[in-house]
Amino acid sequence: MTVVDVVHGSDVVVCCGSGGVGKTTTAAVLGLEAASLGRRVVVVTIDPARRLADALGLRDGLSSEPQRVDIADGVVSGDAPSGELWAMMLDTAATFDGLVKRYADDEEQVERILTNRFYRNMAGAMSGTQEYMAAETLHALHFDDRFDLVIVDTPPSRNALDFLDAPGVLSRFLDHRVFKLAMLPTRSGLKFIGAAAQPIFKAIGKVVGSDVLTDALAFFQAFAGMETGFRERADEVIALLRAERTSFVVVASPRNDTITEAVWFARQLLDQGVGVSAAIVNRVHPDVAAGVDLDAVREAVAANELDPRLLALMSNLLDLDAMRAAELDALAPLVELTEPAPVAVLPLLDRDVHDIDGLRQIADHLFRT
């Protein structure tokens, strides 16, 4: 298997890795290559920063809806990509609102939930909400007829893989006795105020505050009847994340600390039963000594009988070769852990990538060199 096989044979590609290793750029490169092969691909970033927009050269940034990226500019007409490249940024609150509208029985229920203060706080900031909405967005894009490949750029943190667990966490919460207790007033016909006066809710109110408790109970009351739809959707997302045509790509750079992080990500994926489809290591020093007799160069430098400028060049050549060798040695733990998945090495470039042409340059190294 190669990285080309990952682009060809996947319906979903999830890129994960620590910050500063070129993960977002890699996601954009994979998307561009897929589009050049005729696929209709959308790249979605969970990271709220502008990295994906910058890599694609989108000065106005990205929105929470997929927008098409012009990838034909500067390409000879006969070589124009036959596919499409789209991009978007996750909007947690908007995605949650969309789910409420999907599963609510009527507009009145939608209004009661969307205007509830507990819901507004939960939709925007509650721990785990972003991860679940990322998984939900992935599900929605996967079943969108406009696309046949979804590439996910995860945030640069160790929490990046939390969205693997998020659907299951939601399902377990909906089955938890605390949730069922909060739903009891609606299911048993009790009045809301009467339920809030019960001893257990009084005790909770002393801890979180009576206003927060009132808002929370009002939310659960308004949520009545929607939990089945949420649970079924969560189960569908779990199945998608573990589907055969969902691939996980670990991205790293050739430093010991980032390789350690990449190994951690890979081990997490293996422990969760999804595995690693490929690893991509960015910014490795190029092989400037290819085809050079390094032993002869070392002898010449040791003899110190040549022109000083030539000796300096030879010394630099040896130093660069040693740096590349050390970087490749650092990759050994990642290669060993992810075998037989491919580990692709990309060279250090002389500039940052801020447009499609730059992405094409990286794609040439990754897929055609």
**Which homologous superfamily is 3-162+237-288+324-368 in?**
P-loop containing nucleotide triphosphate hydrolases (3.40.50.300)
Question: Which pTM was predicted?
Answer: 0.81
Look at phi and psi of residue 62 and say left if phi exceeds 0, alpha if psi is from -120 to 50, else beta. beta
> Rounded to whole angstroms, how far apart are CA atoms 297 and 305?
12
* In the chain, where the domains are located: 3-162+237-288+324-368
Give all strands (DSSP E) within 21-121, no chain letters.
Answer: 40-45, 67-69, 84-89
* Helix orientation angle between 92-103 and 107-114, rounded to the nearest 10 degrees: 150
pLDDT given for residue 182 in this prediction:
58
pLDDT computed for residue 73 by the predictor? 66
The separation between CA 160 and the C-alpha centre of its own chain, rounded to angstroms, equals 7
| pLDDT tens sequence across 273-296 | 888 999 999 999 988 888 888 888
Supply the pLDDT for residue 212: 55
Q: So what's the pLDDT on residue 209?
A: 46
pLDDT at 192: 44
Which residue numbers in the chain have pLDDT < 50?
Answer: 76-77, 186-197, 200-209
Check residue 134 and give its pLDDT. 83
Q: Which residues are 69's β-sheet partners?
A: 85
Q: What is the pLDDT of residue 156?
A: 67
DSSP percent split of the chain into helix, strand, coil, nearest 5? 60, 10, 30
Angle subtended by helix axes 92-103 and 117-125, to nearest 10: 130
pLDDT at 76: 47
